A and B are shown apart, each in its own frame.
Chain A
Amino acid sequence: MATTALDFLPAPLRSLRLKTKQQELLLRVSTLALIYVLAFAVRLFSVLRYESMIHEFDPYFNYRTTLFLSENGFSEFWNWFDSESWYPLGRVVGGTLFPGLMVTAALLHRLLRALSLAVHIREVCVLTAPFFAANTTLVAYAFGREIWDSGAGLLAAALIAIVPGYISRSVAGSYDNEGVAIFALLLTFYLFVRAVNTGSLAWALASAFGYFYMVSAWGGYVFIINLVPLYVLVLLVTGRYSQRLYVAYNCMYVLGMLLAMQIRFVGFQHVQSGEHMAAMGVFFLLQVFYFLDWVKYLLNDARLFKSFLRITLTCVISVGTLALGIGTASGYISPWTGRFYSLLDPTYAKDHIPIIASVSEHQPTAWSSFMFDFHILLFLFPAGLYFCFKRLSDATIFIVMYGLTSMYFAGVMVRLILVAAPAVCLISAIAASATIKNLTTLIRTKSKSPQATSGKTTGSKAAAKGAVDQSLPFQHNAAIALLLGAFYLLSRYAIHCTWVTSEAYSSPSIVLAARGHNGGRVIFDDYREAYYWLRQNTPPDAKIMSWWDYGYQITAMGNRTVIVDNNTWNNTHIATVGRAMSSYEDEAYEIMQSLDVNYVLVVFGGVTGYSSDDINKFLWMVRIGGGVFPVIKEPDYLVNGEYRVDKGAAPKMLNCLMYKLCYYRFGELTTEYGKPPGYDRVRGVEIGNKDIKLEYLEEAFTTSNWIVRIYKVKPPKNRS
């Protein structure tokens, strides 16, 4: 054995010298521990910059339900009917949400309390996503090791710890389903691939539990229940049917389906919905395969088996298509819902379901988004596909399919980059790890060949290799150069990810920040100011009408009843609100009276230059309202197809309720030096109707930067 530096240590320390295998284990474990801490730490930017609060809109609903769960227990939560939202309809919360996230946070909270760490549930909620992101890195390591080797696993864990596509939905404070769901997704896939590789019932049972956790956490479980049957189908078609596959898929499907049906929101969809029929079809197909395999084993006669095969196949295919046809035609098997159908046909939502089309996350992805969210992984992905095809096995076929399908869907909808991120990280890790391994092997064989042992086959091989190496003199240097290049790329990736997280994905969006003219930071906390005003200055049974974006936040922070909120389950109700916002004040007053509205809340960015305000969203209100009430026509609000708010705007636009509420008293305000009063900083024009008089509403509260404006609806006059 060659002498190493450790030989020069004094005698007592020399006993601590580890064998190579132990050294490797220590290195691996410490790297994984560092990756775990990194994944957690990189998501904490907004907690350090602002405070520990919940971000965005949807997480507020999740927070409110988690609070309810931790205060009232699981039985109350499971049967909860919420009368504070969707007035006067209410919402069956227990049956219309995915409980995984809330139950997880409540359990973590309970565990921490049992360890005498008295933390508030909000802190647990804020830090749930980073905690599960760190767990995802561990699963990615195990998965990488299953598919390729432990080097690829380590690299996959490191890549997925900081990939921006995943960070965007799992920062601290983003208390949303995806934070937990991606962990469940990767865990289910890993356990299923392990079950297929080992053929053991225990691993298949574990993957069924993983699937159950995924179903409880996110509606995107439909991806799993379609990808896994597709994978089984591909294996069957490519002639890789094996009994391990039979055991793994059957156990996972039956137990997973049963467990999934325990969630009330999912209900009987696994047997009734068109989206889940692929899994059932493949289940029956697998039984047919097994049957044919068994008959082949019994018959031992090729010709007889061939005719038997023909008869069986025709029977099975005809019965299958007949069953599917009857089911679909009679309406028992419901067709694909709009949300998932628009993934297959991206133009469907724009024509038929404006609510789905209006969400900015549902737009098709631009190349810049891909580059922003994946960086070097974008070109490592095809390289990884190449490596996977070179070493085809059941596991690599799976990851290739996961990668290709998720990349297709990521191209259709921006939000689904999140689902593609784990696949891209794994495949890129395979590419990078295999390349680095080849390069380092190249460097090490060159330096080892002069010490080749004599007389053995390995010696002659090494000598031959040495001879080959001599003929390419720059191979050693080229390998070193390429290795340095690879490390440089990976370091740039790390820098890019940290920069992206810090600049783009760490804003709480309920607190806005900007740079003042002297470079100092200015914070706009208007949203919370308005919600707390509502909480403290309105009667407890007041009903607030606003656009559906703000519903969850109003109920969670303002603690008041809202008319519509982000759940968007009732399109007609939202269209009614949209109609009220786009009508003249007297028509809108009738609608508001019918809904018992006491206060109206609008968001206005004209003073601060905040561009996600209600005037910019107004056309969607018109479209959604017009989709249900034909009296609202979009061309009425446009001038020559152009959307304007200045003097040349359409008269209906200048006098509709939304315009009046946003620009009330705005005509007297000077917003920018050198511009006339009433200059809207977002639209960049002077508004058209400066002298606004409100007849049926009165201004109740405007926040300090005019971002949120609240109006009180006056009761009807005593004398008509």
Chain B
Amino acid sequence: MGLVGSFPFNSFLSGVLSCIGTAVLAVCLRIQVNKDNKEFKDLPPERAFADFVLCNLVLHLVIMNFLG
């Protein structure tokens, strides 16, 4: 009974948005780390990865709150 929860749209949305969110964040990380991109020349890759981890953390915390 307690498996799915009683707010199906919440769960659906959190599923969809977590997929989109992680995809988007991964793309952003890849953009920032790629050495061919002139715009991110002076951004150290460690900083890009740290940002990526932080954003994912926030994303998943909010998703967990939103699951219903």
Chain A residues within CB distance 8 Å of chain B? 199-202, 204-205, 208, 242-244, 246-247, 250-251, 254-255, 257-259, 261-262, 268, 271, 290
Give a binary string over B39-52; 1 marks a CB under 8 Å from any A CB, 0 the rest: 11001000110011
Q: Determine if B9 and A201 form an interchain contact, defined as CB atoms under 8 angstroms apart.
A: no
Q: B14's closest neighbor in chain A, by CB? A: A258
* Known A199-B40, A262-B62; contact A247-B55, beta-carbon cutoff 8 A: no
Q: Tell me the minimal C-beta distance from A457 to chain B in angstroms.
A: 30
Q: Determine if B28 and A258 form an interchain contact, defined as CB atoms under 8 angstroms apart.
A: no
Of residues 8 to 27 in B, which have CB atoms within 8 Å of A's CB atoms?
9, 13, 17, 20-21, 24-25, 27
Q: List 26 A-B contacts (CB under 8 A).
A: A199-B32, A199-B39, A200-B47, A201-B29, A201-B48, A201-B54, A202-B51, A204-B55, A243-B31, A243-B37, A243-B40, A246-B28, A246-B31, A250-B28, A251-B24, A254-B20, A254-B21, A254-B59, A255-B55, A255-B59, A257-B17, A258-B62, A259-B62, A261-B13, A262-B62, A271-B13
Q: B48's closest neighbor in chain A, by CB? A: A201
- What residues of chain B lie closer than 8 Å to A251, measured between beta carbons? 24-25, 28, 55
User: Is B4's CB within 8 Å of the partner chain A?
Assistant: no
Number of B interface residues, CB 8 Å? 28
A255 to B55, CA, bound (A): 8
Q: Determine if A254 and B66 form an interchain contact, defined as CB atoms under 8 angstroms apart.
A: no
| Set B9, B39, B47, B52: member contacting A244, Cβ < 8 A | B39
A242 to B37, CA, bound (A): 11
Q: Determine if A268 and B31 form an interchain contact, defined as CB atoms under 8 angstroms apart.
A: no
Q: What is the predominant secondary structure among interface residues of chain B facing chain A?
A: helix
A127 to B45, CA, bound (A): 45
Q: Determine if A201 and B28 form an interchain contact, defined as CB atoms under 8 angstroms apart.
A: yes
**Given contacts A201-B25, A201-B54, A262-B66, could you give 18 more A-B pairs where the C-beta distance is less than 8 Å?**
A199-B39, A199-B40, A204-B55, A205-B51, A205-B54, A208-B58, A243-B31, A243-B37, A243-B39, A244-B39, A246-B28, A250-B27, A251-B25, A254-B59, A255-B59, A258-B63, A258-B66, A261-B66
- What residues of chain B lie closer than 8 Å to A262, measured between beta carbons? 62, 65-66
Q: A248's closest neighbor in chain B, by CB? A: B28
The 10 A-B pairs with the shortest beta carbon distances in the complex, nearest first, are A201-B51, A247-B28, A250-B24, A254-B21, A202-B51, A258-B62, A243-B31, A205-B55, A201-B55, A243-B39
- What residues of chain B lie closer than 8 Å to A199, measured between beta carbons? 32, 39-40, 43
Q: Determine if B32 and A247 form an interchain contact, defined as CB atoms under 8 angstroms apart.
A: yes
* Known A243-B31, A247-B32, A262-B65; contact A254-B24, beta-carbon cutoff 8 A: yes
A366 to B66, CA, bound (A): 45
Q: B9's closest neighbor in chain A, by CB? A: A268
